[in-house]
Homo-oligomer: A and B are copies of this chain.
Amino acid sequence: MPAQLYSYQQLADFTKSVFLKIGCSTEHADTATKALLSADLRGIDSHGVARLSGYVRLWEAKRVNATPEIKVIHETPSTAVVDGDSGLGLVIAPFAMQVAIEKAKQVGTGWVSVQNSNHFGIAGYHAMMALEHDMIGMAMTNASPLVAPTFSTDKMLGTNPICVAAPAGKEPAFVADLATTTAANGKLEILQRKNVQTPDGWVQDKDGNASNDPHALKTGGALLPLGGDKEHGSHKGYALGAIVDIFSGLLSGANYAPWVPPFPAYVPMPAQQPGKGIGHFLGAMRIDAFRPADDFKKDMDHWIQGFRNAKTVKGEERVLVPGDPEREFEKERLESGIPLLEAVIKDLKHLGEKFSLSFS
């Protein structure tokens, strides 16, 4: 079934109304809406408005606090730990990123680890907040366990994404936003809906055998770290996911490893809770804390043009620079609208009925 197009403004108005209905302040509803819908704009459909009802269910399960008192509980000139008071990660992460940016203004860089949060949408939204300040932005988060480390059948890590955003001059910014797995869970979900086999290296079955079953996770299997298996470097993807977990969960005092709370409200909480909520890590580095921003940005332009002009393999039109596909989605979708699948539309209509809001 073809997807139906919705304007950004229509989805934003509806989303904001839903956040207001669960009790968010106007400011929080605004921030959460922008953060959530940045995923739809950037083509990461799994992390956008399709998840709105999931956030509401977490609120219904009393796992999301709609009126959190978000605060810095420890700090030094270049670091802070933020307690998110069980609020929406969509609101807490921008707060924490703002703290990182202010610290970078003062002492060159700012690094904020966050505890007691929930899912924050796409990492890219938060990291990109640094760009307008001529800073490099970084964002990462741990997440509920779906990924088996190399040689294991146990799901021990989330898809634990990393985003780094760096400003350029005439060229658009470099924005690398990546799950530390071979394939993001959202991509797997697309194959599940189509009932299509996965490529090698995406998933394993419950015994740790290579699998191409898109439903492998539902029968005890796991997503695989970037690399897929040991011979192809899965120990590196595992290590990267582990680094994200350490920075986000262990530096902040959040939960970590298999004890990170699940996103679906119907999945029971892990038996053990070594920390509070889920964890994020946000960073900002002022370019001119290293060298004049204009010099850096000229070099970034040169770098980007070098990659754009690199020779392509036969059959490919161009070499992409990280951030290109998402930026092109954003331009197209702001102009022509955001396509939603029938299942998502139905879900949003249902959400509308629950809150006496119309969605059509």
Contact = CB atoms under 8 A, between A and B. Distances in A.
Interface of A: 74, 76-79, 81, 106-109, 111, 113, 136, 149-154, 156, 164, 166, 174, 176, 178-183, 199-201, 204, 207-209, 226-228, 231-233, 235-240, 242-243, 245-247, 250-253, 256-258, 274-275, 285-287, 289-291, 295-296, 299-300, 302-303, 306-307, 310-314, 316, 318-320, 322
Contacts of A182: 227, 232-233
Given A303-B246, A311-B153, A251 B296 contact: yes
Given A151-B316, A208-B314, A233-B182, A174 B246 contact: yes
Indicate how many identical chains form the complex: 2
A313 B152 contact: yes
A81 B290 CA distance: 6
Contact of A307 (B136, B156, B164, B166): B156
A179 B235 CA distance: 11
B310 A154 contact: yes
B151 A76 contact: no
Given A111-B108, A240-B176, A291-B74, A307 B257 contact: yes
B156 A306 contact: yes
A77 B290 contact: no
Contacts of A236: 178-180, 226
